[in-house]
Amino acid sequence: MTDANKKFLVGVYDDDDVALAAVNKIKSAGVKIYEVYSPFAIHGMDTAIGHPRTRIGIAAFCFGLTGLLCAITLTTWTMGIDWPMVIGGKDPLSFPNYVPVMFELTVLFTAFGMTITFFLSNGLGPTVKPLLFDPRCTDNKFVMAIDLSKNKMSEAEIASLVKASGAEEVSVKQV
């Protein structure tokens, strides 16, 4: 969190289906939801909140392409240009023989590039202190956070809306 001292309304749900239905209900009432925290992936939750579709696939493709180009450069330059060698009577530049190395390096670059992008884009790192509205969200609870400064409705109105949607606990937290 970059901007400190924000007021959040936190709703704790007991059930993933209830939490997903609650997100849709609260959204349709015109409240902007900051984020929902859950112990496992709930399919459709990110689109229900209104998060844009992740673009990490594009990054993965770019890393893969980089890996492939590196592999092509490495194999053809070393074998064909820098020190051409005839081995087993084969052409120094025998392209099909380089395919396994090209494939492996493409996979290697994609996997590492994508995972590093994943950690960076989510702001995850070994020294990062997690933003936890309720520590039970990694165990068995589903926690909804609503940024009060980003919503026009009053705190009481939103709280009653969250309560009505099935939250078992509602509280306000300063982060």
Partner 1 sequence: MHVTSPVRTPLVTGGKTYADVTEDICKQVEGKPTKEWKIAFAISVVVLLYGTCCLFWTWWEGLGVWGLNKTVGWAWDITNFVWWVGIGHAGTLISAILLLFRQKWRTSINRAAEAMTIFAVICAASFILMHMGRPWMAHWALPLPNTFGSLWVNFNSPLVWDVFAISTYFSVSCLFWYVGLVPDLATIRDRAQNKVSKFIYGTLAMGWNGSAKTWARYEYISLILAGLSTPLVLSVHTIVSFDFATSVIPGWHTTIFPPYFVAGAIFSGFAMVQNLMLIARVVYKLEDYITFEHIELMNKVITLTGSIVGCAYLTEFFIAWYSGVEYESYAFINRATGPYWWAYWAMMTCNVISPQLFWSRSLRRSVKWTFFISVIVNIGMWFERFVIIVTSLHRDYIPSSWAMFSPTMFDIGDYIFSFGLFGTLFLLFSKYLPVINMAEVKGVLRTTSEKLPAKISGVSKADRLASPAYKKDAE
Provide the mask over 116-145, with x wherever binding to partner 1 is found by CB under 8 A and - wherever it is not: --xx-xxxxxxxxxxxx--xxxxxxx----
Pairing of strands 142-147, 7-13: antiparallel
Q: Does 160 bind partner 1 (CB under 8 A)?
A: no
Which range binds partner 1 by CB under 8 A, 2-10, 24-32, 74-82, 153-161? 74-82
Residue 169 CB, shortest distance to partner 1, in Å, is 12
Q: How distant is the alpha carbon of residue 162 from its chain centre?
A: 26
CB of 149 to partner 1, least distance (A): 19
- C-alpha torsion sign, points 147, 153, 154, 157: negative
Q: Is 40 in the site for partner 1 (CB under 8 A)?
A: yes
Q: What angle do CA 142, 148, 154 make, to 5 degrees?
A: 110
Please give the residues from 94 up to 113 whose contact with partner 1 meets the rule CB under 8 A.
94, 97-98, 100-101, 103-105, 107-108, 110-112
SS3 for 127?
coil
Q: Does 57 bind partner 1 (CB under 8 A)?
A: yes
Q: Are 8 and 147 in contact (CB under 8 A)?
A: yes
Strand partners, 147: 8
> What CA–CA distance (Å, rounded) separates 86 from 7?
71
Give the separation between CA 145 and CA 72, rounded to whole angstroms: 48
Nearest residue (CB) to partner 1, 102 versus 161: 102
Chain residues binding partner 1 by CB under 8 A are 14-17, 35-43, 45-46, 49, 51, 54, 56-57, 60, 74-75, 78-79, 82-83, 85, 87-88, 90, 94, 97-98, 100-101, 103-105, 107-108, 110-112, 114-115, 118-119, 121-132, 135-141
